[in-house]
């Protein structure tokens, strides 16, 4: 069987990977890493908690389903009609796992031996859903307990409150697992409908990295992949207002020190535009708040933050935000000082020495990641799901300038689009 393939190389770091466009509709990403003892693999679909409104060529119009179905499906696929999938992995010595995020569901395994047998297990169970009303009802109680346990995590509660403060309509503000109320509406029929729409191989990718043989991988795929027809999947999101939904959400719980999340709401992006936006945001957020920055020193010396202070760039389908989080007895003062520092940088410009240090450190980290099979799979997975070249991130960072940051700081850190979430006594 002839399979179309594309090879991606980066001569600067001496790495490459191949994308095979399989006749089943699946894109297969293989990164050969000779001499490594561990093989990591991931089978993923572009389907997460935010994908609640969609249509295929089989639907007359868009349909909206209850929150939490993507996560529910992840749970149910590990059970087939005969046995539990983890029992199968135990026989090959592989460690299997899975997770659902806001915009993807990923099934993984890692092993040191028998990777082809484990790959067959992965492909088989993800393509073989088995739901009954009885098994769905049984799982509902388990997921309900999981939702309640997550609600007891104050850090998680603080984060989701920030999303609710930033987003008025986008479903990213709802917990990935859904709500106790929403999962009551989930049944076997809905699970099959969502599975058939989003687990179409044209909407999925397979990624594998390690000391592997491409022909052997393709042979397993030929034997275990079920040819699918592109269903013309479309997803839809409500129009999200430019402004934050509300500037502040505060909840009272018993805590030693108040928790906070501070978010700058930004416009979303896609493809290579998203890569550039993410890179600019990542370098800027470090310039503003890493442990060597003037702001961090001021906050720390004034006792406004402790070692729990951190930041991240949070993005996905239809959302993008720069977030700071930590513990403080005066979270609003922390917010105000972050805004002041952002405005100062807008007026005075980027510190060249700090920029070069952060850029070189980020570049070194990206290169180092190619020495770890698990990280390679995760990074390749992210690029594949976004339909971009993994190496483009390295090229964008290498060419990044201070002017790029100044050109983007107004939109990435718009001080009129700031929200804060606080958990306090």
Catalytic positions are 74
Q: Look at strands 4-10 and 259-266 and give their pairing.
A: unpaired
- The two tokens of residue 65 are 């389903």
Q: String of b and e for 209-240 (b: at least 16 CB within 10 Å)?
A: bbebeeeebbebbeeebeebeebebebebeeb
- Distance, in Å, from the CA atom of 321 to the CA atom of 267, rounded to the nearest integer, reads 8
Name the β-bridge partners of 252: 424
CB contact set of 371 (below 8 Å; sequence gap of 6+): none
Q: Which residues contact 242 (CB under 8 A, 6 or more apart)?
A: 417
* 181 HSE (CA, 13 A, CB side): 1
Q: How far apart are alpha carbons 211 and 36 in whole angstroms?
A: 6
Q: Classify strands 204-210 and 310-316 as parallel, antiparallel or unpaired.
A: unpaired
Does residue 283 contact residue 329 with C-beta atoms inside 8 Å? no
- Phi, psi dihedrals of residue 254, rounded to the nearest 5°: -80, 110
Phi first, then psi: what are they for 175, rounded to 5°?
Answer: -55, 140
* Whether 334 contacts 310, CB under 8 Å: no
Tell me the C-alpha distance between 90 and 43, whole Å.
19
Q: Are 358 and 283 in contact (CB under 8 A)?
A: yes
Tokens coding 70: 């993507």
Which candidate, 272, 382, 393, places its Cα nearest to that of 29? Answer: 382
Residue 83 burial by Cβ neighbours in a 10 Å radius (0-12, 13-18, 19+): exposed
């Amino acid at each position: 069987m002839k399979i179309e393939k594309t090879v991606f190389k980066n001569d600067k770091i001496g790495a490459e990977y191949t994308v095979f466009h399989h006749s089943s509709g699946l894109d297969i990403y293989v990164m050969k890493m000779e001499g490594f003892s561990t093989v990591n693999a991931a089978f993923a679909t572009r389907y997460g908690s935010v994908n609640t409104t969609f249509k295929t060529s089989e639907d007359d119009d868009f349909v909206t389903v209850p929150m939490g179905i993507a996560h529910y499906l992840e749970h149910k696929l590990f059970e087939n009609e005969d046995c539990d999938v983890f029992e199968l992995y135990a026989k090959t010595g592989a460690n299997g796992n899975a997770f659902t995020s806001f915009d993807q569901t990923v099934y993984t395994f890692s092993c040191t031996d028998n990777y082809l047998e484990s790959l067959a297990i992965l492909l088989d169970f993800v393509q073989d859903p088995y739901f009954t009303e009885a098994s769905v009802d049984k799982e509902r109680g388990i997921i309900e307990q999981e939702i309640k346990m997550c609600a007891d995590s104050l850090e998680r509660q603080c984060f989701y409150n920030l999303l609710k403060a930033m987003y008025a309509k986008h479903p990213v503000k709802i917990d990935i697992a859904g709500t106790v109320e929403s999962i009551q509406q989930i049944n076997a029929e809905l699970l099959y409908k969502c599975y058939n729409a989003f687990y179409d191989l044209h909407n999925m990718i397979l990624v594998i990295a390690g000391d592997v043989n491409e022909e052997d991988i393709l042979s397993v795929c030929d034997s275990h992949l079920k040819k699918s027809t592109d269903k013309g999947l479309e997803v839809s999101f409500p129009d999200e207002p430019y402004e934050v939904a509300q500037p502040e959400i505060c909840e009272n719980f018993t805590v030693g020190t108040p928790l906070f999340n501070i978010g700058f709401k930004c416009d979303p992006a896609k493809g290579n535009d998203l890569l550039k936006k993410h890179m600019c945001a990542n370098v800027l957020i470090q310039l503003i708040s890493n442990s060597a920055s003037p702001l961090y020193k001021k906050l720390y010396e004034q006792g406004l933050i402790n070692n729990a202070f951190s930041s991240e760039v949070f993005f996905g389908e239809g959302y993008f935000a720069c977030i700071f989080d930590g513990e403080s007895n005066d979270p609003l003062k922390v917010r105000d000082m972050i805004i002041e520092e952002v405005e100062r940088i807008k007026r005075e410009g980027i510190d060249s020495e700090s920029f070069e240090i952060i850029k070189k450190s980020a570049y070194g980290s990206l290169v180092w990641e190619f020495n770890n099979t698990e990280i390679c799979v995760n990074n390749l997975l992210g690029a594949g799901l976004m339909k971009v070249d993994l190496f483009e991130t390295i090229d964008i960072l290498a060419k990044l300038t201070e002017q790029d940051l100044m050109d983007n700081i107004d939109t990435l850190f718009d001080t009129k689009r700031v929200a804060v979430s606080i958990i306090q006594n």
